[in-house]
Structure 1
């Protein structure tokens, strides 16, 4: 099984010199013109009170970069580098601040997850695990997606890094399952067989499991702490109780909806269990490298689960795993160097994290939050709360991580909601849940999203389309089912 990955940021619409020797106003220029025009307009808007002089300049560059990522006049990594270059050359960002995203530990955790996944592939252990899954529940693509959902759910309460959970555990299994069905990222026909569906579904499942427990996502404890500072104490059990019913309903509904929204061409695999049994027999006993990979994986899982108790950072744990795999020869340096998905993810995600942090430092995020809060003055609390939650959800298009938005805006929106008359505990829990649920909006919206995107199976345009539609489904479930359930248990 090959471990090479195609360029996940390639775009067949990019104009090549030998195809167009003379300048033509082709659609590619429309794609470039829209981000430039919108960015320039925002760049030169008057600076509002409370925002630093360079705040609107930074917002303009950030908006242009995001539009570039959506429209893709250039591949993703190229768009990100152009954006950060403009931010530096205009002195909107100091060079140290512009490059700070490349030192972000979450970004490197994502990169490390790719390398760990590579270990599963090159040793064949990932394929072996995949065969076990296929043997047990492999009669349909839907069954496989439910298998991944159960895996994520079991790990979630004890894994505060949702990136580690998605990238180090779920992702390599899905890669192996996809390749078992000859679903690879090198063509539309191949990737849509199974891999793209399973990866997109796994991301939507991950945002749900991350919302179900305080300890399932690193940003959740930050929301808990911010709520406590406003006199709202949320215990681990109260959070889990409030989230359990809408969470379980979502885990049942989401894989099914995803199969309707983004159907794999491989739907039924009735022969797969027998084939898996035969291939497991042919594979024979596990090799030494497979045992080392398995032992390293268990060690990583234990350290990730006990990271708070042992005071061991998730990124440090991931690098320990990589070191073990390199020293034992399971991975070689060439394996790491050739992993294009990992390095391209480092570029675009590092740039976006740095830009989002700069927006916070320049006061732009606080200004947006204050404007939103003041805009709902005088409305009935239910109407005001609905507006605030929707804005809080979809403003995440401006963020490259869940935790960044929670730190920047959770307290502002919670205070505004309580001021309008919303029940404090209800408001605190809902904004806490949203802090995870919006992680599937785009390919840069969270660490797990970046991991899945880096595989190359899903096009950028598909991320935005599917992410937005699934956000409506998830909001509906957590509003109707979650709201009713929290009423039953007395949260509001």
Structure 2
């Protein structure tokens, strides 16, 4: 019988968990603020706990999800009922609120996205696409860098998981580095691996289905504001920003980490050899490509040629992928490749945001933020500038944009609603703020995809930070500039 392996409680994790518990207790037992129900105060306490646990990584995200569900069930269960304060809410009703995110269409979409990513990995289609693109760019180091960024862009359409895309690219890039006979400690290796992570983060902004955190934002926009954002609407708004940032990324990396040589002898042949090793395209790859192209067509033509929403078309595609004879994988194969912890975190994140709204905690906190930052007196551009800067700083402590989005987007929407500024496009402004939540460019720990790239030991943390700071500054400037021009012209701001 094998011994049970438990995750060790390090000093850092102990301090993080202790800080989270103390913060929760401090908020829960402070004098009740005017206009905030007891249930709302307890939800703010649970939010403080969640944010500190997520920032400190005191426990992994799956375990934190279970803790948050229990805290909501017990904390609200013994709070006065919102409709009838003379009685307690009860743990049964409170647990139902804690689980509400799991019955959400956005939750179904993220779950479906995980299965698409699993199908790509199982068939090897993602690897074939990546190598095919790289085989066309040549052997000059700057063109290989451009090819890696281009691959990140293309895969963002077909693999709706940033971690999965980077996990696909890392062994390919490592194979290219080895095949070229270049040291894994070279600047060339570092620049390719950093580009792999950063390009995928950039295209999380540009494509609605590229990242789970976008689904959280879209869900809260739909629930709080009653507005559905189609795949094409998101793409037309955000893709120009991501395209410009991809070019900026290329030049920043070449400037900050210039490769030792301008061309790799035999580089093109090395990529061709890797591609030839895959052999001819298998029947499963062809079927998956056909299903993926069909799915991309339905995503991009939602509300234009049909009324099928993104979640429904995604689930239909998953059903085809799993269907015997027609599909490309079986359930047993798929479940081993699905990041179930991420799915649970996503469901709990939606629940957390919804309960913050239901208990009026988000509204109360929004009023406080408006007053503390003086947002009421600011222009729409000033509001975007302040909130974007605030979220960039906050993201330094987060290892998950999904968690950050779950915690902040309901509050951001409530902030915009509290402003009551005439002509303010709350939907568009929330989209812009969500773009900022996708950043995570500075620290390796700011996103799972960064850590996947960092684990290759091709670059040091200081290299990522040194390139990540100018990328972040450029992205922040891009947010301001786009808000003044393109996004303002298409009505996203006003």
TM-score (norm 2): 0.68
Residues in 1 aligned to 2:167 and 2:394: alpha-carbon distance in whole angstroms: 31
Using the TM superposition, give the Cα deviation of residue 132 of structure 1 relative to its aligned residue in structure 2, in angstroms.
0.4
Q: Summarize the Cα distance change of 1:136–1:261 in structure 2 as closer, same or farther, 3 Å threshold.
A: same
Aligned-pair CA distance for 1:202: 0.8
Q: 1:362: how far off?
A: 0.8
* Cα pair 2:40 2:356 within 8 Å, conserved: yes
Determine the structure 1 residue equivalent to 2:436.
437
Displacement of 1:222: 8.8
- The runs of 5 or more residues in structure 1 that have no matched partner are 1-10, 17-24, 156-164, 230-235, 443-448
Query: Cα 1:272–1:307, aligned 2, differ >3 Å: closer, same or farther?
Result: farther
For 1:258 and 1:320, locate their aligned partners in 2 and report how far apart those are by CA, in whole Å: 40
Tell me if 1:280 matches 2:275: yes
Which range is displaced more, 379-388 or 390-399? 390-399
Matched, 1:253 2:271: no
Q: Which residue of 2 aligns with 1:160?
A: none
The answer as to whether partners of 1:441 and 1:468 remain within 8 angstroms in 2 is no
Any conservation in 2 of the 1:197–1:259 contact (CA below 8 Å)? no
**1:416 pairs with 414, 419, 422, which one?**
419
Closer, same or farther in 2 for the Cα pair 1:35/1:142, shift >3 Å?
A: farther
Instruction: Flag the 1:350–1:368 CA change in 2: closer, same or farther, 3 A.
Output: same
Measure the CA separation in 1 of the matches of 2:163 and 2:320: 20
**1:331 Cα deviation from its structure 2 partner:** 0.7
Residues 152 and 209 in structure 1, CA contact (< 8 A), matched pair in contact too? no
Report if aligned partners of 2:353, 2:410 keep a CA contact under 8 Å in 1. Answer: no
Are the equivalent residues in 2 in contact too, given 1:88–1:95 (CA < 8 A)?
Answer: yes
- Which residue is equivalent to 2:149? 146
**1:343 aligns to what?**
340
Rounded to whole Å, the distance in 2 between the matches of 1:409 and 1:225 is: 14
Shift of 1:36: 1.3
Tell me how far 1:365 sits from its aligned partner: 1.1
**Cross-structure match for 1:15:** 8
Q: 2: CA distance between counterparts of 1:44 and 1:267?
A: 63
Q: 2:391, 2:436 within 8 Å by CA — same for their partners in 1?
A: no
Residue 68 of structure 1: CA displacement?
Answer: 1.2
Match of 2:201 in 1: 203
Identify the range of structure 1 (285-294 vs 264-273) with the bigger mean alpha-carbon deviation: 264-273
Q: Which residue of 1 aligns with 2:21?
A: 36
Per the alignment, residue 446 of structure 1 pairs with none
Give distance in 2, aligned partners of 1:325 and 1:489. 38
Shift of 1:78: 1.4
Structure 1 position 380, deviation (Å)? 6.3
Map 1:152-171 onto structure 2 (within 5 A): 167=160
Q: Secondary structure at the match of 1:353?
A: helix
Q: Which residue among 293, 296, 302 is the counterpart of 1:298? A: 293
* Contact 1:178-1:194 within 8 A present in 2 as well: no
Is the aligned partner of 1:97 residue 2:97?
A: yes
User: 2: CA distance between counterparts of 1:291 and 1:40?
Assistant: 56
Cα displacement (A) at 1:287: 1.8
1:318 equivalenced with 2:314 (yes/no)? yes
**Paired residue for 2:38?**
53
Q: Which residue number corresponds to residue 110 of structure 1?
A: 110
What pairs up with 1:209-288 in 2 under 5 angstroms?
Answer: 248-254=243-249, 257=252, 271-288=266-283
Q: Aligned partners of 1:133 and 1:350: how far apart in 2?
A: 35
Indicate conservation of the 8 Å contact 2:201/2:440, yes or no.
Answer: no
Deviations 1:246-269 (A, max 9, x none): 554323224555788999999987
What is the rounded CA distance, in whole Å, between the counterparts of 2:199 and 2:417 in structure 1?
Answer: 30
Distance 1:289 1:255, change over 3 A: same
Aligned mates of 1:350, 1:264 — CA distance in 2:
43
Q: What is the CA RMSD across the aligned residues, in angstroms?
A: 5.1
Distance 1:193 1:412, change over 3 A: closer
Mean Cα deviation higher: 432-441 or 48-57: 432-441
From the superposition, tell whether residues 266 and 103 of structure 1 become closer, same or farther in structure 2 (CA, over 3 Å): farther
CA distance in 2, matches of 1:103, 1:269: 52
Task: Answer whether contact 2:128 2:275 (CA < 8 A) is retained.
Answer: yes
Structure-2 separation of matches of 1:79 and 1:228: 30
Pairs aligned (count): 434
Aligned residues of 1:208 and 1:437 also touching (Cα < 8 A)? no
Determine the C-alpha separation between the residues in 1 that align with 2:66 and 2:264: 43
287-296 or 218-227, larger mean C-alpha shift: 218-227
1:367 matched residue in structure 2: 364
1:477 aligns with 2:483: no
Measured after TM superposition, the shift of residue 404 of structure 1 is 8.9
Q: Secondary structure at the match of 2:136?
A: helix
User: Would you say 1:74 and 2:74 are equivalent positions?
Assistant: no
Q: How much does 1:131 deviate? A: 1.4
The answer to whether residue 119 in structure 2 is matched with residue 127 in structure 1 is no
Q: CA deviation at 1:114?
A: 2.1
Unaligned runs of at least 5 residues, structure 2 = 78-90, 176-183, 456-460
Contact 2:482–2:488, Cα closer than 8 Å, also in 1: no
Asked whether the 8 Å contact 1:289–1:330 carries over to 2, the reply is yes
Residues 475-484 or 341-350, more deviating? 475-484
Q: TM-score when scaled to structure 1?
A: 0.69
Greater relative contact order (CA < 8 Å, ≥ 6 in sequence) = 1
- Deviation readout 1:360-408 (Å, 9 max, x if unpaired): 1111111122223344278564766744665587789898586996666
